[in-house]
């Protein structure tokens, strides 16, 4: 017996009243396993995958990408039946009758739709450039006729991308010039910068980038921060020569023992949380008629992906040693880039740290992570000549930049806080312990 089950928007947090459908991972006619994600949702806190509560065939999508709907709203319908899968876990035979015809019609309708035909993701563009493929010639099987990586690979495997004289002169429409290389700044970047995963629709003139729900949320939060918080800014430089020597001494053994990289950020976080203990007002937020000083020190990390910046939280960071902080950093950064952050990972931050030096920055003026009171950036470590005891020496130097909420914090307290962070960083030496 066949039944149709509606999937609804769940309430992921007590204060959540709505969610936005970011993108669909399945299309009508696809078989969905039990607990398999069918779409990505975006709330005001985090984006999350919505798993299916049943196994069956997705027959209808009720809410399109970019639409915001209240909690409890049905967003799709899945057709199920008694024998959904065989013993090997494979889907049952395709349903017949009116419901089966509905699913088949949905697939045919989706295949006829070519509204997404001209939109190429950077991954598809890069793959097309590598194989010399004219993307306009590739049949698209994605939603709205969109071309996927599998489509390009299948096209290449079929031998349909043979170059000819007409295409040798200039790259055809829809093909990224394979000769265009991403230039490196020559600074200590750990990898070649990747292209943003954005959706671009082009014509003969301008290009248009759709504002995704995630980008819209970032824009709203940034606008709220700069409009409500009177920002002030200050900077201090730090001699991290001994820290560089210490990390170089320990990093190889650490990755063998723990399986994660020992980054400078772990040492910075330790220096920051110890300074917050001395100046707890830094760990506060504005509450109109009072200032709330938070008991727990929960550090928000600004982690950048190709198309967004998210701020997962290290809870009770003051209870962790350098090794523990390094493992937390690696875990949260990996979950961020894989899109596996949970709502809990994003909540409770009291102070934000951003490692802008990872992409070569030497000076930045960050926007405060609302409603926190301050954000600190750790800039690139560069060798500079400095004067020590009236003599010139070449030292590894870095800038620490602090944006502060001037309703709560003033220059004196922030100057002392930065000086304490500086002292903590410069106190690391070859005898310092990670555990």
Q: Return the CATH number at 242.
A: 3.30.559.10
288 and 152 in a single domain? The answer is: no
* Total count of domains within the chain: 3
Who wins on pLDDT, 239 or 305?
239
Same domain, 149 and 160: yes
Looking at per-residue pLDDT, the higher value among 420 and 389 belongs to 420
Q: Report if residue 435 sits inside a domain.
A: no
Say whether pLDDT at 259 is over 70: yes
The β-bridge partners of 50 are: 39
Query: To which residue do tokens 């027959």 refer?
Result: 59
Rounded to whole angstroms, the Cα distance separating 63 from 309 reads 26
Domain boundary among 112, 144, 169: 112
Judge whether 291 lies within some domain. yes
Q: Which of 186, 211, 236 is the last residue of a domain?
A: 211
Q: Is 82 among the domain residues?
A: yes
Residue 426 pLDDT: 96
Same domain membership, residue 131 and residue 100: no
Residue 83 lies inside a defined structural domain of this protein? yes
Residues 271 and 416 in one domain: yes
Please give the residue range of the domain that contains residue 49: 3-112
Residue 380 located in a structural domain: yes
CB 10 within 8 A of CB 183: no
Q: What is the C-alpha to C-alpha distance for residues 161 and 148, in angstroms, rounded to an integer?
A: 16
Q: Does residue 348 sit in the same domain as residue 414?
A: yes
Residues 219, 207 within the same domain: no
Q: Please report whether residue 370 resides in a domain.
A: yes
3-class SS of residue 31: strand
At 232, the pLDDT band (50, 70, 90 cuts) reads: very high
Do 240 and 189 fall into the same domain? no
Above 60 in pLDDT, residue 237? Answer: yes
Regarding whether 156 and 253 lie in a shared domain, the answer is no
pLDDT at 278 over 50: yes
Q: How far apart are CA 150 and CA 390, in angstroms?
A: 64
Same domain assignment for residues 92 and 178: no
Segment 161-165 shows an average pLDDT of: 50
The pair of structure tokens assigned to 67 is: 């639409």
Do 363 and 351 reside in the same domain of the chain? Answer: yes
Q: Which of 64, 83, 112 is the last residue of a domain?
A: 112
What is the CB neighbour count within 10 angstroms for residue 415?
13
DSSP state of 21: E
In a domain, 431, yes or no: no
pTM: 0.63
Q: Do 258 and 232 share a domain, yes or no?
A: yes
pLDDT value of residue 141: 79
* Range 335-349 burial, b when 16+ CB lie within 10 A, else e: bbeeeebeeebbeeb
Q: Within a domain: residue 433?
A: no
Contact, 10 vs 89, CB < 8 A? no
Active-site amino acid positions: 406, 410
Q: Cα(85)–Cα(66) distance, rounded to whole angstroms?
A: 33
End-to-end CA distance of the chain: 60
Token readout for 56 is 């069956």
CATH at 93: 2.40.50.100
- Model confidence over 369-391: pLDDT tens digits? 999 999 999 999 999 999 998 99
Do both 102 and 181 map to the same domain?
Answer: no
């Amino acid at each position: 017996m066949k039944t149709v089950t509606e999937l609804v928007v769940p309430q992921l947090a007590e204060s959540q009243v709505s969610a936005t459908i970011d993108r669909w991972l399945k299309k009508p006619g696809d078989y969905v396993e039990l607990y398999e994600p069918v779409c990505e949702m975006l709330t005001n806190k985090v984006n999350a995958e919505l798993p299916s509560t049943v196994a069956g065939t997705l027959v209808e999508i009720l809410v399109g990408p970019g639409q915001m709907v209240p909690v409890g709203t049905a967003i799709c319908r899945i057709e199920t039946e008694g024998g959904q899968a065989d013993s090997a876990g494979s889907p049952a035979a395709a349903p017949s009758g009116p419901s089966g015809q509905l699913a088949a019609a949905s697939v045919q309708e989706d295949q006829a739709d070519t509204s997404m035909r001209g939109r190429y993701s950077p991954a598809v563009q890069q793959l097309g450039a590598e194989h010399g493929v004219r993307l306009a010639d590739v049949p698209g099987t994605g939603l709205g006729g969109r071309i996927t990586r599998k489509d390009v690979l299948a096209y290449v495997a079929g031998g349909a991308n043979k170059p000819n004289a007409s295409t040798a002169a200039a790259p055809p429409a829809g093909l990224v010039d394979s000769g265009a290389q991403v230039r490196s700044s020559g600074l200590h970047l750990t990898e070649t910068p990747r292209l943003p995963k954005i959706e671009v629709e082009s014509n003969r003139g301008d290009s248009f980038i759709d504002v995704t729900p995630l980008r819209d949320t970032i824009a709203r939060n940034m606008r709220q921060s700069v409009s409500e918080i009177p920002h002030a800014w200050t900077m201090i430089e730090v001699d991290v020569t001994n820290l560089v020597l210490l990390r170089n001494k320990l990093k190889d053994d650490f990755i063998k023992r723990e399986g994660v990289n020992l980054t400078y950020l772990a040492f910075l976080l330790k220096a920051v949380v110890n300074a917050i203990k001395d100046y707890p007002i830094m760990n506060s937020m504005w509450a109109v008629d009072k200032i709330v000083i938070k008991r727990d020190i929960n550090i928000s990390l600004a982690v950048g992906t190709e198309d967004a910046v998210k701020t997962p939280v290290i809870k009770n960071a003051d209870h962790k040693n350098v090794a523990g902080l390094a493992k937390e950093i690696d875990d949260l950064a990996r979950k961020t880039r894989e899109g596996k952050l949970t709502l809990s990972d994003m909540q409770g931050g009291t102070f934000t740290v951003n490692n802008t030096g990872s992409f070569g920055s030497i000076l930045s003026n960050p926007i405060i992570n609302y409603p926190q009171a301050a954000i600190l950036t750790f800039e690139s470590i560069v060798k500079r000549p400095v004067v020590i005891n009236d003599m010139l020496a070449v030292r590894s130097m870095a800038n620490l930049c602090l944006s502060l909420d001037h309703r709560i914090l003033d220059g004196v307290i922030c100057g002392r806080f930065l000086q304490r962070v500086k002292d903590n960083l410069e106190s690391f030496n070859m005898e310092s312990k990670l555990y």
